[in-house]
Amino acid sequence: MEDQGSLEALLYQINHIFLPPQLPQEDDKNVLHEKALMKTVYHGLIHFRRSLVDQRCEKLLTRCTDMMKRMMRIHDANGLLDSKLLEKELLELDNFGFLAIHVRSQNAGLLVTKIDSQYLFESLELLARDTDVMACKGRLRRHFPGRSVAVDAFLVRDTRFRETLIDTLIKLDRERDSEGQTKPKARDAYGNDLELDREEDTTDPRLVTGMLMAVLQGLGRIADVPRICKHTREEVLLKRAHSPWRRSPLWLFIRVSMQLNLYRQGAELVPGCQGESLYKEFMLFLMSFILNHPASSRLLPHDLLFIMMAKISRRIIKHGSAETAPWFEFTKQVMKEKDLKLKLEWDDMQKKESKHLNLSALHSLDFGKD
């Protein structure tokens, strides 16, 4: 049973991070798998940080590990936001510390950053609308974060404000906005709109990105912050199921939170450390870290192992200078081990399937007489 649970959690991570050709055709949301995903990213960050030579970048990655630690702490056993834990992390947030709050039922994320005497609140829409995903031929071009508001720190320290904010987030995390649901549509061969007979489209995050941010803006002020552009690969897959498979909104939230953290603070706090490059290097390292999972060699099919290796190889080629990085030794070793495993098992399979044919009679053949 332990192997089965480990395999399911691993496959969940592979599907949402690697996006192999064969993906599930129905919703695979699972609280335990999401917790395992956060733990994998957290431990991957720790291993990646240890492999760095530049201590300046190590300091920057420590902020990312702290962010992931907080992200795991604020949820209860059921994966829902916990009011006491959320309040504790909000009050204990250090200067330039990141608190990433996944508001699950609203399809939204809220980033909270303490900067000197103010708190910066940034909202994000996570899953794109199904209609946009299905209409897009390639990657979706998206900008993060959305609305950004700065609030004075003394206001966050005020008990009444803090309790109201946390109670609102707890409620939004648990209750879906029924009015924000729309039926997904597709187009037929003649360009006519068709309503699909299945569950609603992705939730409109307006209660977070609109209502909550408007209230915060009334108490604070609009913040002009650097934004990032991501070309995201999204999927909406459905076959004989009520709810479709979509790429994990949690995984997108983790990526955007880390990239914003590294991109901004890399330039401001750690001169000489390229945050954008560091983010791409970690993504490559994380894929190798997952490939090195103990269950991968024992339980994963060979074709999936090959696909994972191909995806990592493609990233190495795109990166260009990865092979000279100190952390690359780990990736190279993992790739060598998996490649050797596939070759040995393929040779063994060929030996088992080979048949010895007695062809000695062919020496006496006479084609003229025969």
Cβ atoms within 10 Å of 230's Cβ, excluding its own: 15
| Between 180 and 11, the higher pLDDT residue | 11
**Confidence class for position 157, pLDDT limits 50, 70, 90:** very high
Task: Cis check for the bond before 301: say yes or no (omega within 30 of 0).
Answer: no
pLDDT recorded at residue 265: 76
| Between 109 and 53, the higher pLDDT residue | 109
The dihedrals phi and psi of 119, each to the nearest 5 degrees, come to -115, 130
Residue whose structure tokens are 């993060």? 144
At residue 151, does pLDDT exceed 90? yes
Average pLDDT over residues 138-153: 94
Distance CA 7, CA 295 (A): 7
**Confidence class for position 323, pLDDT limits 50, 70, 90:** confident
Strand partners, 141: 231
pLDDT recorded at residue 348: 87
Q: 344 in helix, strand or coil?
A: helix
